[in-house]
Structure 1
Amino acid sequence: MTFGGMSAKRVPDDVFMSWIEPLRHDRRVRRDLDKYLRSVPKRAQLLEWAEQQRSFGGSVLVVWARNDKLMPPAHAERLAQHFDKAQLVWIDDSRTLVPLDQPELLTEHLRAFLGANAA
């Protein structure tokens, strides 16, 4: 298991260990992970659920790492197209783990979106 490709910066050892320690030491966590991995829906089901997103009428913020290797930019564009009121924001110098790579920038975008869409 590696997270190296998911972050533009090195994931600190203590953070990485906090992610995997429960898996290493708690059989209930291993059981739950095994159950999840054996029940991941087929592609057709996932695509059907994705289509159902289109019925959501609220505002949506899609924050995506421009250089993401695991989840390419084309996926962000496709996701944003599912919603009438979507705002797609690109984050540079980041990969999948935007909260680790660019926490301040992510927070700025979240605050601006929430402020603009407060009920």
Structure 2
Amino acid sequence: MPQITLPQGTVHYRSTGDGPPVVLLHGYLMDSKLWDPVVDRLAPDFRCIRPDLPFGAHRIPLSPDTELDLVGIARLVADLLDALDLREVTLVGNDYGTSVAQTVAARHPERIGRLVLTSGECFDNSPATWFKPLVPAARVPGLLTLAFQSLRSRTLRRLPFAYGLLTANELPHDLIDDWVDAFFSDRGVRRDCEKVTRGFRPAATLDTANRIASFDRPALIAFGREDRHFPFKHGARLAALLPDARLAAVPDTRTWVMLDQTEMISGLIGEFIRTTPIGAARSDDAPV
């Protein structure tokens, strides 16, 4: 798997296909393989780039002094786009990656041509209700690691405070096994995950919501109708904030729209890119 060295450290990423760049961001305690079913359908027409973000399932820890709050992670993604020299990117987010994508668009829009936000954190819903206890746990050395021991069990990971409410279908246990193994295999990875977890703050996502109206490029908001973590009404609020947004309700799905409704979400993203030409480049004086 390719890797690139950024100011924050080494980041693995996957790149598939050729054509206009689509960068897909995943969620907390996951990696970029979650997007593979969608990439299989988009790659004939687009270059799909999926970084493994430092959310606890990555394999190489970042530099110990890296800031991994929401703003710091958005800076990492912006630096990745710069390092790969990607232009007019369609940036796609899911779960916590949705919050990151919003923040990149609001603070570092120079290389972003379009924005796709699927079910994920926004406004004051960060983290989602079931995961709020993780934030104080991350402040106590070793407690987050202890809490995640339960994820080794395929039975316990089905519970609401684990992966249980993220999909309307069966959990992708082979993927989750890899994610949990990555977390427990490296102390530096666990350190990164603790920093990310301590950075979950409603104030940060509210600040991003206040800034997102400055993003005047095309946006697609596609939230799951049955999502119990990230309600569809939040997607509708996001669409109302953005100057050039279209809203899509994804039926019979929860957070993982890429697994529950692979064909539909792939079609929505592909059609959105083909039917929304990118206008004049933005100025570099966006708010920071």
TM norm. shorter chain > 0.5: yes
Task: Name the stretch that deviates more: 48-57 or 107-116.
Answer: 48-57
Percent identity, aligned pairs only, is: 31
Segments ≥4 residues shifted beyond 3 Å? none
The Cα of 1:10 is off from its aligned counterpart by: 1.1
Match of 1:91 in 2: 250
CA offsets 1:35-59 (integer angstroms, 9 cap, x no match): 1112333x23321221100011111
The Cα of 1:11 is off from its aligned counterpart by: 1.4
Q: Helix, strand or coil: the match of 2:234?
A: helix
Q: Helix, strand or coil: the match of 1:3?
A: coil
Match of 2:163 in 1: 3
| In structure 2, distance between residues paired with 1:45 and 1:106 | 28
Match of 2:190 in 1: 30
Letter in 1 for 2:212: Q
Match of 1:15 in 2: 175
With structure 1 as the length reference, what TM-score do the two structures score? 0.91
The Cα of 1:105 is off from its aligned counterpart by: 0.9
With structure 2 as the length reference, what TM-score do the two structures score? 0.39
Match of 1:100 in 2: 259
The Cα of 1:12 is off from its aligned counterpart by: 2.1
Structure 2: 5+ residue runs without aligned partners? 1-150, 152-161, 279-288
Preserved CA contact (<8 Å) 1:7 1:97: yes
Match of 1:64 in 2: 223
Q: Structure 1 or 2: larger helix share? A: 1
CA offsets 1:3-52 (integer angstroms, 9 cap, x no match): 111100011210111222110211111010011112333x2332122110
Preserved CA contact (<8 Å) 1:4 1:10: no
| In structure 2, distance between residues paired with 1:6 and 1:114 | 26
> Over aligned residues, Cα RMSD in angstroms?
1.3
Q: Structure 1 or 2: larger strand share? A: 2
Q: How many residue pairs get matched?
A: 118
